């Protein structure tokens, strides 16, 4: 099974580029999308590969939002993390299949000046409790807005107190998320240097001055079924590139 996750930074914008062609080219069984930045009635993806499409938009227009496209109909669909404080921004969709769940998440960014860091810490704890509630193994993907280790960011020293690379966020990621799941890419490739996000400023992508903040995380019992975990750096259209999980399940 092939699964792909991509923060498109605006679904309406990427649909004006080569998004449909990319969907056909990748031909994933499950395609997860973050940061749709659109209301549900503003999103129309005409792709015959995916008869099943699930959207979850933020209450605030033009902000956040997630989506999952899949070839097979899931057994159930869950929107949000069942927490009124955190379920206004369309950040989480979970699909249940026979032997596993696929969850896509767009984790809150701590923001300029770390003005949302406290909220981010609260989110991580609530999301950890949410992950604890599942009764089947999990494939979790998305923009988790944290570079876990120094190898996951081009300039670790100068970014130490920037959103996505604070000690608080990295510690929280380990304690609240990696306690449940394994980082498939880093498990397979402990020393490989690749990034999934680049700032639009300073020709960052051209210089490959990036961050690895997009993940496929899997339950421990599924890690031996993972055949590959890839960062698709040759695909453009967003400030993120897609990440792929190939798994026998």
Active site residues: 106, 143
**Tokens 């498990």 identify what position?**
187
Residues 6 or more apart whose CB falls under 8 angstroms from that of 172 comprise 120, 121, 124, 125, 146
Contact 241, 6 (CB under 8 A): yes
The pair of structure tokens assigned to 52 is 């099943």
Q: Would you say how long the chain is, in residues?
A: 249
Closest CA to 110 of 66, 161, 174: 161
Residues 77/94, Cβ–Cβ less than 8 Å = yes
């Amino acid at each position: 099974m092939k699964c792909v996750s991509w923060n498109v930074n605006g679904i309406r914008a990427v649909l004006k580029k080569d998004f449909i062609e990319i969907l056909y080219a990748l031909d994933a069984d499950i395609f997860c999308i973050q940061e749709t930045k659109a209301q549900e009635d503003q999103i129309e993806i005409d792709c015959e590969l995916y008869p099943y499409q699930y959207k979850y938009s933020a209450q605030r227009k033009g902000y956040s939002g997630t989506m999952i496209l899949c070839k097979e109909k899931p057994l159930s669909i869950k929107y949000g993390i069942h927490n009124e404080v955190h379920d206004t921004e369309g950040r989480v969709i979970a699909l249940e299949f026979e032997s596993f769940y696929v969850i896509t998440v767009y984790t809150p960014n701590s923001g300029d000046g770390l003005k949302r860091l406290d909220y981010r810490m609260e989110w991580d704890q609530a999301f950890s409790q949410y992950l604890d509630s599942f009764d089947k193994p999990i494939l979790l993907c998305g923009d988790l807005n944290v570079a876990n280790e120094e190898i996951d960011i081009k300039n670790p020293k100068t970014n130490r107190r920037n959103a996505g690379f604070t000690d608080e966020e990295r510690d929280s990621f380990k304690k609240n998320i990696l306690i449940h799941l394994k980082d498939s890419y880093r498990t397979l490739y402990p020393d490989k240097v690749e990034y999934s996000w680049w700032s639009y400023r300073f020709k960052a992508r051209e210089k490959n001055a990036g961050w690895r903040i997009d993940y496929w995380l899997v339950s421990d019992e599924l890690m031996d079924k993972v055949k590959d975990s890839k960062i698709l750096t040759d695909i453009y259209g967003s400030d993120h590139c897609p990440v792929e999980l190939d798994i026998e399940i």
